[in-house]
Amino acid sequence: MDERAPAIPARRLRPRRLAAIELGLISSTFSTIVSQLFAARIGRDAAVDWMTVATIPARDWAISAEPSWSAIIAGIAFHQWADFSWALVFFGVFGRWTAQLPPLAILALAMPWAVFSSATEWFVLVPLFPFWQPLFTLQQPYWIGLLVHGSSALMYPLFARLRWVGGAAPERDIRFTSAWMVAALAVIALLGGIALSAARGHELPWFGNHKEVDQTYIRHMTAHHAQGIVLARLAIERAHDPHLRKLAMLMLASQNGETKIFENWWLSWFDTGMPGCTAEERADMPGFLTPAQMRQVDAAPPEQFDGAFIDMMSRHHRGAVKMADQMWHSRGDLRLRIMAHAIRHEQQGEIALMHGATGIDAVSTAFRNMLGDNVNSPAGTLAGTID
């Protein structure tokens, strides 16, 4: 009797574009989930960030004082489309060179690709052609997009398995991608657990070097934001320029979100209520407006209100930038320092937006804002400030 070994199915490659589509859906979804769960850990309000992303295609429609579900969904959808498109380019347009690579080689190329794709969006595609929308680049420092693109690119090695029909990939690639998928699910589970614990008032512990310095910064920036919120509400009600009203709504949403994060961190880290700031502390804060200055804005005639608001909010923002700069250069808790870097970029960007920055000017201003050293700069000037 002639016994023969069972036939081994021939390995067949799937159409490259189909595998790229599946990879794009996986990578964009992974980065969305990670961004949502991780944002608050570094002082970002995910809802405000998604709203800001939504302004790229939707412009001022997406902006409101409280991020709407429609804006959040639009922001997530646009982000997913962008990440999906970059995956199609990597494995479709450049598939002749990338599609046949093993997982580790794909990973080695995917990280530089994340740097390139996020920089292309931040420097060119969003603020210039085709969207001509300066708000995103001036509002969010480049490293936020890099983190998002990097998390998406981490899923690219799975392409080495998706490209084969019926899971008939080489055994070594199956082992690698199986372990990679387990690791990705573990990351999501870990971030989800940390986020759930934080929602119940238990953030990861404080680990700075000088508790009093960090506490003072949180108290002062919370008080500073409270005054900024009052000023922004005035502009929402009274500004003549509709774009300025929308920008005031974004300021309100951003500072409300940051204030909630400060309050959550304080309660979790220090297990006590946050003391208010004294009158002397408020008077010494850079950019904290006097009651007379606040009344000056409130009493401004309708035809002069926009100019009065821009002047006072610019002063207020410059003060917040100085405070954030000091925290960024300190030895405080890393999360506070990362958040401070984002706040200084955001508020300098809003000064530029109030003064009408667009195009190349917006890109160069955002670049200076992100890298500038406002603490040690000559005469204490603010990098990228438009007067």
Residue 27 CA to residue 17 CA, distance in Å, equals 15
Q: Give the three-state DSSP class for 164.
A: strand
The per-residue pLDDT for 382 is 52
Tens-place pLDDT, residues 32-42:
999 999 999 99
Average pLDDT, the chain: 93
Same domain, yes or no: 219 and 185? no
> Of 173, 199, 225, which residue constitutes the final position of a domain?
199
Structural domains in the chain (count): 2
Residue 256 lies in a domain: yes
The per-residue pLDDT for 27 is 98
The per-residue pLDDT for 83 is 97
Same domain, yes or no: 219 and 361? yes
Tens-place pLDDT, residues 232-256:
999 999 999 999 999 999 999 999 9
Residue 280 lies in a domain: yes
CA pseudo-torsion sign 163, 164, 166, 171: negative
Residue 364, domain CATH? 1.20.1260.10
Residue 116 CA to residue 293 CA, distance in Å, equals 45
8 A C-beta contact, residue 322 and residue 286: yes
Q: Given a cut of 50, is residue 1 above it in pLDDT?
A: no
> Of 160, 179, 199, which residue constitutes the final position of a domain?
199
Same domain, yes or no: 192 and 237? no
298: its two tokens:
């409130």
Same domain, yes or no: 186 and 321? no
Residue 204 lies in a domain: no
Tens-place pLDDT, residues 338-369:
999 999 999 999 999 999 999 999 999 999 99
The per-residue pLDDT for 3 is 47
Q: Which structural domain, as residue segments, surrounds residue 350?
A: 211-380
Residue 206 lies in a domain: no
Same domain, yes or no: 217 and 108? no
The per-residue pLDDT for 167 is 67
| Pairwise pLDDT comparison (168 vs 213), residue with the higher score | 213
Tens-place pLDDT, residues 292-329:
999 999 999 999 999 999 999 999 999 999 999 999 99
Residue 336 CA to residue 213 CA, distance in Å, equals 11
Residue 46 lies in a domain: yes
Same domain, yes or no: 49 and 189? yes
The per-residue pLDDT for 376 is 58
Confidence (pTM):
0.93
Tens-place pLDDT, residues 215-231:
999 999 999 999 999 99
Same domain, yes or no: 180 and 31? yes
Residue 7 lies in a domain: no
The count of other CB atoms within 10 Å of the CB of residue 275 is 9
> Of 167, 199, 231, which residue constitutes the final position of a domain?
199
Same domain, yes or no: 156 and 262? no
Same domain, yes or no: 186 and 232? no
The per-residue pLDDT for 21 is 96
Q: Of the candidates 218, 340, 221, 327, which has an alpha carbon nearest to the alpha carbon of residue 268?
A: 218
Same domain, yes or no: 357 and 236? yes
The per-residue pLDDT for 377 is 55
Same domain, yes or no: 292 and 186? no
Residue 4 lies in a domain: no
Residue 3 lies in a domain: no
Same domain, yes or no: 189 and 284? no
8 A C-beta contact, residue 32 and residue 53: no
